[in-house]
């Protein structure tokens, strides 16, 4: 399969890694074992979408899930993957229904293999052990999971034991266990060598922001507390169950299908636009469009014809920018000039006189709550900076602000810890008086 049309496609989950590089890396990895012995290669679609302000993946899963699934099947054919999973955030109940219907339709068309569409559960909730032999979640268990999310599940993230031991008395009832995806069985063969369609199932996540990080997601799927792994090895080398694993975002697979199908859509991406605009929503626009044009042309302008007080260019992790930067191209090169990146292309607009420090403080408070606590600089640093931005306490050492931020960036093993300082740095650069924090 020729994937030259993917050469300019960057991952749309936040990091912006070249998609074709990942596809080729998994294709070129040697197969360990056989499907019958639990070997092979795996696809994982990251549909966790926990970045604040980001909802474009939810739109795809509700409106065009078949396009994304076809992209996954193409990736399976190219890489030789034996099985695929969509790791879905638990709040996406409506999207789950559309996803199940789309999978059933593609099975009927012979594009996906029989048996596709089974439901599994990742770690992050009490009552989710790592069992490899059950048949999946039924609708009753899934309804219980939905209720659990609405009634405080976020405070119970990571309660599955390290080896997947059952904790009872919660969402799945006394003694009820929710399974994880089984290892590849002898009924599944590599798509690229036999022509057999790939099997794609759904793994419902545990509601943890950290599972947007690919290796924490894999830990969740394997039934452990979702914490990022040290890299290398990278998932393309050793991912789910130690097998070569291709991991892409929902939008990335969606674009891959459109590009490989020959649509003239190169150079575009989806933008989540929200906040103080007349028409919030998901819009397809060129990479490099300015925030001003996106707000005025697509979003109908700022509510009440007010001025923009501040705005977020690509999701909470990309920091807060002033109105003076509204003409900056929303491209990697353009946003690099103002010290940030496109991220998930989630533009959030705050009308004046919104206090940018308050916005930054809320972001850091969110990061402090969602830190997996594995890395000390992230665990302590996010909380300290949130308290400082809230003006509830001073820095522990008033002379070491830069060293705190540097320690977070250098001493954390995943993107949460080493990008969180950007929020503080951006506020200090653009909003703090005289460039010195109060």
- Where is average pLDDT lowest: 84-88, 96-100, 410-414, 429-433? 429-433
Give pTM, 2 decimals: 0.83
Given a cut of 50, whether residue 324 has pLDDT beyond it is yes
Q: DSSP string covering 65-100, please?
A: HHHHHHHHHHHHHHHT-SEEEEEE-TT-HHHHHHHH
CA torsion angle 37 38 39 40 (round to 10): 120
Given a cut of 80, whether residue 93 has pLDDT beyond it is yes
Burial of 243 (0-12, 13-18, 19+ CB in 10 A): buried
β-pairing verdict for 83-88 and 199-204: parallel
Query: Across all residues in the chain, what is the average pLDDT?
Result: 81
- Where is average pLDDT lowest: 86-90, 180-184, 231-235, 303-307? 180-184
Tens of pLDDT along 173-213? 222 233 344 444 434 444 444 456 799 999 888 788 898 99
Tens of pLDDT along 362-392? 999 999 989 888 999 999 999 999 999 998 8
Tens of pLDDT along 110-141? 999 998 998 877 654 333 333 333 344 444 44
Given a cut of 60, whether residue 159 has pLDDT beyond it is no
- Give me the pLDDT at residue 188, please: 41
Given a cut of 50, whether residue 438 has pLDDT beyond it is no
For the chain, list the domains and their CATH numbers: 4-260 (3.40.50.11540), 268-354 (3.10.20.600), 368-435 (no CATH)
- Give me the pLDDT at residue 90, please: 85
| pLDDT class of 261 with cuts at 50, 70, 90 | very high
Please check whether residue 61 is in contact with residue 99, taking contact to mean a CB–CB distance below 8 angstroms: yes
| pLDDT class of 38 with cuts at 50, 70, 90 | low
N-terminal to C-terminal alpha carbon distance within the chain: 57
- Give me the pLDDT at residue 37, please: 58
CA angle 181, 186, 191 (to 5 degrees): 85
- CA-based Rg of the chain, rounded to a whole angstrom? 22
**Helix, strand, or coil here: 139?**
helix
Cα distance between residue 112 and residue 151, in whole Å: 36
DSSP 329: B
- Give me the pLDDT at residue 254, please: 97
């Amino acid at each position: 399969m020729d994937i030259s049309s993917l050469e300019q496609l960057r991952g749309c989950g936040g990091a912006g890694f070249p998609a074709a590089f990942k596809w080729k890396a998994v294709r070129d990895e040697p197969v360990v074992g056989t499907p019958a012995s639990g070997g092979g290669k795996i696809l994982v679609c990251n549909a966790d979408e926990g970045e604040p302000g980001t909802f474009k993946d939810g739109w795809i899963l509700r409106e065009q899930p078949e396009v994304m699934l076809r992209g996954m099947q193409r990736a399976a054919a190219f890489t030789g993957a034996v099985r695929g999973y969509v790791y879905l955030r638990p709040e996406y109940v409506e999207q789950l229904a559309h996803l199940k219907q789309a999978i059933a339709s593609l099975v009927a068309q012979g594009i996906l293999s029989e048996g596709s569409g089974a439901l599994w559960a990742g770690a992050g909730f009490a009552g989710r052990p790592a069992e490899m032999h059950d048949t999946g979640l039924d609708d009753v268990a899934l309804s219980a999971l939905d209720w659990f999310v609405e009634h405080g599940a976020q405070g119970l993230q990571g309660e599955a034991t390290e080896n997947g031991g059952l904790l009872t008395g919660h969402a799945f009832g006394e003694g009820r266990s929710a399974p994880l995806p089984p290892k590849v069985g002898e009924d599944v063969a590599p798509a690229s060598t036999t022509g057999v369609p790939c099997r794609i199932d759904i793994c419902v996540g545990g509601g943890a922001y950290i599972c947007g990080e690919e290796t924490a997601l894999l830990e969740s799927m394997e039934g452990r507390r979702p914490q990022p792994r040290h890299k290398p090895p990278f998932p393309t080398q050793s991912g789910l169950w130690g097998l070569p694993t291709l991991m892409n975002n929902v939008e990335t697979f969606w674009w891959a299908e459109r590009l490989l199908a020959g649509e003239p859509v190169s150079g575009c991406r989806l933008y989540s636009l929200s906040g103080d605009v007349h028409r919030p929503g998901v819009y397809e626009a060129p990479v490099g469009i300015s925030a001003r044009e996106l707000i005025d042309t697509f979003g109908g302008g700022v509510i009440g014809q007010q001025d923009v007080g501040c705005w977020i260019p690509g999701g909470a992790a990309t920091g807060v920018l002033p109105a003076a930067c509204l003409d900056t191209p929303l491209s990697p090169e353009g946003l690099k000039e103002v010290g940030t990146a496109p991220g998930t292309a989630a533009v959030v607009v705050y009308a004046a006189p919104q206090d940018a420090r308050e916005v930054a403080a809320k972001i850091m408070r969110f990061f402090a709550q969602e830190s997996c606590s594995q890395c000390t600089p992230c665990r302590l640093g996010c909380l300290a900076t949130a308290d400082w931005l809230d003006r509830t306490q001073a820095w522990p050492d008033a002379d070491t602000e830069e060293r705190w931020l540097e320690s977070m960036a250098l001493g954390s093993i995943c993107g949460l810890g080493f990008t969180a300082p950007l929020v503080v740095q951006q506020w200090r650069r653009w909003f703090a008086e005289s460039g010195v924090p109060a």
